[in-house]
A and B are shown apart, each in its own frame.
Chain A
């Protein structure tokens, strides 16, 4: 309960100065707003999750991530405060909803995870095989703690990947091809499950990419997955979908995964992010 109060304080304090649409909003309030706007079985399928969102275990993960972010560590004994997530060194507010994006310093389109790996290896000097960067999954991993903290600074901000650089557009378009690309011995594509509204696999209601108010929840990662008892990332979702589609293992941080994430983020453009989210 005190978590909710902790998170409420900064909102109250910043309220008078930030009356623009782009400001922090608690994830449960974002979701309530969407539910009032559209009639969606996907958004309302778990009453328990809606009730638990204010006490989302992902807040503990985010809190650990905050401590890690400002801690001087790694071979270079440096914090991550100089890491540029696209809006300038150390600027976290609203940074995540503008990713994936093109970064001049690497010449690549990067998502949050690959950008974090880049900063941890270059600024902090971690070797690529150090568990701090290599372990990508589970609430106990540095990677999930940091991602949950950083992404949480974008809750309520509208998804807005820039698409100014030509390669951002190219990657988005390739991501669209990947989304509709049927393959494997089951002939599935992402669209098989995510192209229609109020459809179910067994008892689970599926989100539709063509309904942005639904889709923003679908892509709001990190999220605490109740069934996994862990906070999960966008990269984890991509890996899990390809596994279920029987198409093999997508490489973590590969350009294929980033292209897909860029396409799916663009599809939620303008809708407020729910961060961290809570999912079944």
Chain B
């Protein structure tokens, strides 16, 4: 991950260096049309983000690092972006699932169900990690998981999204055996393990949710007393 980021930045500096050598900064600006046509679409997209500073790259992100770090892709992001509108092929699928499987870190002391009512708050909240303007302040309010943006959960909540499958009755249908606990944890931690190039964020791997929050969300899904299972 770190090596990859350094390589990308070094590549960017090399391109900037070339512009400086041949043209000088202001001329490079004017000659951009010709330079753009010499690049592949992929190269130009990255060039517009980083070298042309299409974003405010130096702004700080809540997790540490900057906007530039957020915009720098890792292996799964690259592989899944390259698909464009095509559906996934078997080579990409096996590559992505194997990267995802290696990323899984199980909680120390085993997988346990937390407090479903705290999990419900996490499922409802879309707060967190927004930067650039109206930055989310994590010291005032914890980030959420925004599960309802994409999933139906409790049957009495009607403003649920449909990008993901309905999870209403999740625990009632599946029970809470060790196998189901492990599977549910892994899907929340890094869903690409089972669904390569899924739209679902990697809540554990990317540090969006804490281990405690994951265990609370799991209780919301699996605890028989949770509204999801009523």
Contacts and interface: CB of A to CB of B under 8 A. Distances in A.
Contacts of A4: none
Nearest to A246: B129
A197 to B, nearest CB: 11
Given A243-B132, A248-B71, A256 B55 contact: yes
Given A166-B37, A249-B133, A254-B48, A180 B55 contact: no
B161 A248 contact: no
B139 interface: no
B208 A189 contact: no
Contacts of A166: 37
B195 interface: no
A77 to B, nearest CB: 29
A259 B33 contact: no
A267 B206 CA distance: 32
A186 interface: yes
A170 B70 contact: no
A60 interface: no
Contacts of A246: 70, 129-131
B207 A248 contact: no
Nearest to A191: B85
A183 B54 contact: no
Interface string A179-191: 0111111111101
Main secondary structure of the interface of B (DSSP, over half): loop
A189 to B, nearest CB: 6
Contacts of B61: 185, 248
A206 to B, nearest CB: 8
Interface residues of B, number: 56
Interface string B123-165: 0000001111110000000000000111000000011111100
A199 B162 contact: yes
Given A174-B41, A183-B77, A185-B63, A108 B32 contact: yes
A84 interface: no
A44 interface: no
Interface string B112-130: 0000000000000000011
Interface residues of A, number: 51
A78 interface: no
Contact of A248 (B37, B39, B132, B208): B132
B44 interface: yes
Given A182-B81, A254-B54, A243 B133 contact: yes
A247 interface: yes
Interface in B53-73: 53-57, 59, 61, 63, 67, 70-73
Given A174-B48, A249-B131, A199 B163 contact: yes
B219 to A, nearest CB: 23
Contacts of B45: 174-175, 177-178, 181, 256, 259
Given A186-B208, A243-B134, 19 more contacts: A107-B30, A108-B33, A167-B34, A173-B41, A174-B44, A177-B45, A181-B45, A185-B61, A186-B206, A192-B199, A201-B149, A203-B158, A203-B159, A246-B130, A248-B132, A250-B55, A251-B54, A256-B45, A256-B54
